[in-house]
Amino acid sequence: MNPLLKLIEHGQSYWIDNLTRRMIASGELECRVRREGLRGVTSNPQIFRKAIAGTGDYDEQIETMICGGRPCPEVREIYEALVTTDIRNACDILRPVYDASAGLDGYVSLEVSPHVAHYTEASIEQARHLWRLVDRPNLFIKIPGTLAGLPAIEQLLFEGINVNITLLFSVERYQAVAEAYLRALERRREAGLALDGAASVASFFLSRIDVLTDELLRHRITPETSVELQPDPRTLLGKTAVANAKLAYRSFKRIIASDRWKVLEDRGARVQRMLWASTSTKNPDYADVMYVEPLIGPHTVNTMPETTIDAFADHGSVRDTVEEGLDEARGVMEDLAKLGIDFGQVTAQLENEGIQKFIEPYDALLAGLADKCQKYSNRLGVAPLQKVAQQLRRDVITMTTAAGSGHPTSSLSCADIVAALFFHEMRWDPGDPGARNVDSFILSKGHAAPILWAALRQSGASHEDLSSLRKFGSSFEGHPTPTNPWVKVSTGSLGQGLAAANGIALANRLDGIAARVYCLLGDGECSEGSVWEAAQFASLNKLTGLVAVVDVNGLGQTGPTPYGHRTEVFARRFQSFGWSTFEIDGHDMEAILDALYRARKSGPAAIIARTEKGRGVPFLEGVHGWHGKALSQEEMDRAFRELGETGVHMTVEPRRVGEIRSVEAEPPPPLEPGYRRGEKVATRKGFGNALKKLGEHMPELVVIDGDVSNSTYTELFARSFPKRFFQSFIAEQNLVGTALGLAVSGKIPVAASFACFLSRGYDFIRMAGHSRPPHLVFCGSHAGISIGEDGPSQMGLEDLAMFRSLAGSTVLYPCDAVSAERLTEKALRTPGIVYLRTTRPATPVIYSNSEAFPVGGSKVLRADKDDRYTVVAAGITVHEALAAHDRLKERGISVRVIDAYSVKPLDASTLGQAASETRGIVVVEDHWCDGGLGDAIAAATNSTVPVHRLAVSREPRSGTKEELLDRYGISRRAIEEKIVALAGR
């Protein structure tokens, strides 16, 4: 006879530690119950994880729940529906056992979430919830026997909810659990409730105890131990678990022998049976039934995995054993103590590990389930999104044909991607373009503007007429500009979107907004190095919320792009820059949704989408020669026939990403420079000092630098505010682009580098101008030939021209530390693009700390009614002008000296006055002759007096500062000579 069937004769039920839908559906469970004497089932997250995530057995139910037409349920709800379905079915299969045993046996156990193991109230809530959901009398709710679990257990049993107390390792804790049962019964009695209305088992764990204890024993039997330990640790290996269980059973026997219990038993209370759990043998050297055979006796359950059931069926031997060898058991526990093994610590560790062992698969189960849910939910969204994409295509063609120009084919290639983003993936609110706690979108391939306008219009975010595209006054411009409120940064000069996206992602992180930033690029624009600067920055800064989508349509303006449809080239590149990548068919809506979903967890992530330019209209698809060309009316009609009728309208549900933490900043106190007159301090140092001071009171102030922070002195800010300082390394395009992204996200960014290296980012600066940020400050240090020995490559000599030419820009140029601090403060408060020019060498402080420096002002440093000429200087040349003034004075020539610290706007009135009061102006500047201060002053003093220029007009070279100022004609000597010549002496 099968030994399993004999167990019941000795008072032991055997249960199985496994439950899956397949077991139920295949009839296996029923067979075991009917033919093999199985009397109960327990489940756990590990087994459900394998069954749900690893097989398709549950997919039908998942799909029905998600696609059932009702609002999409949460993942937890789906999880509960899946497992309670199984549990309920199992309960029904075991119901005959339950009924036949009058409620003594025939139970199925379902575990609460392992995350509530240490929370009494949450455990109670969950247990009640699951009890209601399953709604079967032969259900056990499994609750871990932690300290927090004890009151929950008592309460639940009191309420009549059956509890299987799990994760018991120590006799002491078992006793506490038994006590909880007794108290629950007593409370029921007091409340007049039936005592057989609450069943319980106490699950005592076996093999894990030996695994850990054996490990500790083995530490004591290494060959390095010369002393002979007493007792010999070898003799204890594999003995602890059973010994411990036998002692627990002894406790159990004492309890059911107590008077307290008798009272309850007499009133119908059922025994809280001992359940042996974790009874598979882990160590292959041990017998495979070692946790079954010695623990047979009345009022016991042994929950076994399949292998142990099979082993016992094959060669298990059955007799009453559980009360044998109690002395030996006691001896084992004493010997452990003698060897210094603290069994209390062992059981505590096992309890913690036990909880963790379920948390991991439980979380994995929910994550796996979320993936499946997403897949079904995606599938659900595919058909309408495909229609939306077709509608967007119609709109694109309508717009561009009405305009007679634009880029329809470049828009069609990304229509599916844009539909997926705007109508499915992105969390945004079409009613609020100013919202910050939403996902952002940057159309880096700006020439595809029509697809953006179409998406905004279809979603109700913009209301312009489609036919207004590219018309004067419409916000639907040829390329995206902030004239349309949904556009954060102007694009159209390719390769710029990703750096701006970096800045937005940084701002989100600073403000605790868990939003994502999507940037759509073309394959052609990936030839721009700036894309790779930005890609490096994103991965170095772990911008996990950043998702780039590359629309690989394979055609550029003049022909095929360099890599055609070879998406793997872009994937390899993004990978080599530290990004996750997904290569997909960019017209397969399900693939798009899936990639977007996966990208959520793996940012910065690049989705490399293979597409066709002109997709959707066969005569345009992948055909060269259509770049930037609109269709004729006739061609449009033909295209519409190809696209078919859509007549779709899909509503975008407004969604936000959490709440914005509102930062209430006090108005900062006025800046207080603290220099002594004559003290030599470089203006770049003054700038750094000011940043540090201002940072204290301006939480929106952020600084970004290109690996020269010890030269620009942004390091002073970086040290005090490391979280608001960003390192762009030697990548100035990204420096500017990221700063712009920060600027359009409510920050006041300062981007600093050598003045000459800002020329690297000039296209980005130009486009920043077109993006009209509220505040964006650039600081160029080491301007001019006064840097000295490093030579021409390091001399910023065109920076004034560069920044001056931009419409609406402000250009400031301090000459000492006081003006540097003051002008830094002004720069941060001046709207738009501001450029601050600083100098390498230390220069004497000439202003008092309280001097004010309004934008558009100037300082008349020397003036006399006899002034014959006016010397206008700025920055380093102010000091040369002052020295020249003194020397000329000695020679009897009086000159006015003006510090034109505000190069743009210029102080036209002061200069005009000087012009009218003197015979001519000499402008002296450390800059190329054209485009700088000289041009500015000639423009301002238009035709009133001659403007003579001293500026750098020949190729400079290495040398000392003094040599260079002199050789290139902008020194004190040069000024003196010029004035003397003008004065005709």
Per the listing, tokens 């800010």 go with 717
Instruction: Write out the DSSP string of 548-612.
Output: EEEEE--B-SSSB-TTTT-HHHHHHHHHHTT-EEEEEETT-HHHHHHHHHHHHTS-SEEEEEE--
By 3-state DSSP, what share of the chain in percent is helix, strand and coil, each rounded to 5? 50, 15, 35
How many CB atoms are located within 10 Å of the residue 839 CB? Answer: 29
Taking alpha carbons only, the member of 248, 274, 253, 435 closest to residue 347 is: 248
Name the token pair of 838.
Answer: 């600083």
Q: How far is the CB of 92 from a second copy (least distance, A)?
A: 58
Instruction: Write out the DSSP string of 324-338.
Output: TTHHHHHHHHHHHHH
Alpha helices in 220-322 (DSSP H): 240-257, 259-266, 306-315
Q: How far is the CB of 538 from a second copy (least distance, A)?
A: 12
Q: How far is the CB of 608 from a second copy (least distance, A)?
A: 13
Quick one: residue 710, left, alpha or beta (phi over 0 = left, psi -120 to 50 = alpha)? alpha
Asked if 480 contacts 771 with a C-beta cutoff of 8 angstroms, the reply is no
Residues whose CB is less than 8 angstroms from the CB of residue 711 and which lie 6 or more positions away in sequence, other chains included = 684, 754, 781, 782, 840
Q: How far is the CB of 618 from a second copy (least distance, A)?
A: 24
Q: Which is nearer to a second copy, 516 or 978 (CB)?
A: 978
Taking alpha carbons only, the member of 580, 425, 414, 593 closest to residue 517 is: 425
d(CA 154, CA 164): 12
Q: How far is the CB of 501 from a second copy (least distance, A)?
A: 15
Residues whose CB is less than 8 angstroms from the CB of residue 947 and which lie 6 or more positions away in sequence, other chains included = 920, 921, 923, 934, 937, 938, 941
Q: How far is the CB of 760 from a second copy (least distance, A)?
A: 4
d(CA 595, CA 581): 9
Positive or negative torsion for Cα 232, 233, 234, 236: positive
Annotated catalytic residue 142 = yes
Q: How far is the CB of 490 from a second copy (least distance, A)?
A: 6
d(CA 725, CA 510): 11
Q: Which is nearer to a second copy, 667 or 984 (CB)?
A: 984
Q: How far is CA 234 from the centre of its chain?
A: 52
Question: If DSSP codes are grouped into helix, strand and coil, which group holds residue 757?
Answer: helix
Burial class of residue 54 (count of CB atoms within 10 Å of its CB; 0-12, 13-18, 19+): exposed
Q: Which is nearer to a second copy, 887 or 967 (CB)?
A: 967
Q: How far is the CB of 180 from a second copy (least distance, A)?
A: 57
Q: Which is nearer to a second copy, 354 or 832 (CB)?
A: 832
Task: Quote the Cα angle for 230-231-233, to 5°.
Answer: 110
Q: Which is nearer to a second copy, 295 or 936 (CB)?
A: 936
Per the listing, tokens 């000289």 go with 934
Q: How far is the CB of 844 from a second copy (least distance, A)?
A: 22
Q: Which is nearer to a second copy, 497 or 673 (CB)?
A: 497
How many CB atoms are located within 10 Å of the residue 321 CB? Answer: 17
Q: Which DSSP category does 787 fall into?
A: G
Q: How far is the CB of 163 from a second copy (least distance, A)?
A: 55
Q: How far is the CB of 507 from a second copy (least distance, A)?
A: 22
Name the token pair of 755.
Answer: 């003045």
Q: Which is nearer to a second copy, 122 or 801 (CB)?
A: 801
List 50, 142, 488, 865, catalytic entry: 142
Q: Which is nearer to a second copy, 389 or 933 (CB)?
A: 933
Q: Which is nearer to a second copy, 51 or 731 (CB)?
A: 731
Quick one: residue 825, left, alpha or beta (phi over 0 = left, psi -120 to 50 = alpha)? alpha
Burial class of residue 674 (count of CB atoms within 10 Å of its CB; 0-12, 13-18, 19+): exposed
Beta bridge partners of 12: 300
Asked if 931 contacts 800 with a C-beta cutoff of 8 angstroms, the reply is yes
Report the Cα–Cα distance between both ends of the chain, in Å, rounded: 132
Q: Which is nearer to a second copy, 178 or 914 (CB)?
A: 914
CA atoms within 13 A of residue 426's CA, in its CB half-sphere: 26
Q: How far is the CB of 715 from a second copy (least distance, A)?
A: 7
Name the token pair of 779.
Answer: 């600081």
Taking alpha carbons only, the member of 459, 386, 318 closest to residue 1 is: 318
Q: How far is the CB of 906 from a second copy (least distance, A)?
A: 10
Asked if 154 contacts 127 with a C-beta cutoff of 8 angstroms, the reply is no
Per the listing, tokens 């006796």 go with 297
Q: Which is nearer to a second copy, 11 or 478 (CB)?
A: 478
Write out the catalytic residue numbers: 142
